[in-house]
Amino acid sequence: MLEFITLPDNVLPPVAPYSHAVRAGDFLFVTGQLAEDPDTGKVVKGSIEEQTRRVMENLTMVLNHAGSGFGRVVMARIFVTDFRHYETVNAIYQSYFGSAPQPSRTTVGVTALAGYGDVEIDLIAYCGE
């Protein structure tokens, strides 16, 4: 059974035809989040720190709305446009997981992202018992 999860219309409006997350059985697949301002729908063009924090806060919103959290994440994919930011992105990302076991992860360097952001992260969370 599939459940398509979207946030209320005025929060993180999709910039393309997608759901914020899809629950498929015991797994939740969270769409890649950019540093989108949840009020305006515009991608934040600030520093890599500002962008990464915004991405992580957006992921928090989607996970919470779906009844999940970072402690349930089993896989993450991080896309960055400049690998010189790897350590900065990594430190902020890790701070959201706290002392919980770290999920598996892939980090990929890309030439561009939607909205011309510098970082995007998607997640897979386990929602079973």
Q: What is the CATH number of the domain that holds 18?
A: 3.30.1330.40
- Beta-carbon contacts of 44 under 8 Å, excluding residues fewer than 6 positions away, are 35, 36, 37, 50, 51, 54, 117
State pLDDT tens for residues 65-74: 999 999 999 9
Q: What is the pLDDT of residue 111?
A: 95
**Whether residue 13 has pLDDT greater than 90:** no
Domain that holds residue 120: 2-126
Instruction: Report the range of poorest mean pLDDT among 5-9, 92-96, 122-126.
Output: 5-9
Looking at the 3D structure of the chain, how many domains does it have? Answer: 1
Give the other-Cβ count within 10 Å of 108's Cβ. Answer: 10
Please, which pLDDT band fits residue 128 given cuts at 50, 70 and 90? Answer: confident
Give the other-Cβ count within 10 Å of 39's Cβ. Answer: 10
Crossing angle of helices 86-95/48-65, nearest 10°? 30
State pLDDT tens for residues 45-69: 899 999 999 999 999 999 999 999 9
State pLDDT tens for residues 74-107: 999 999 999 999 999 999 999 999 887 899 999 9
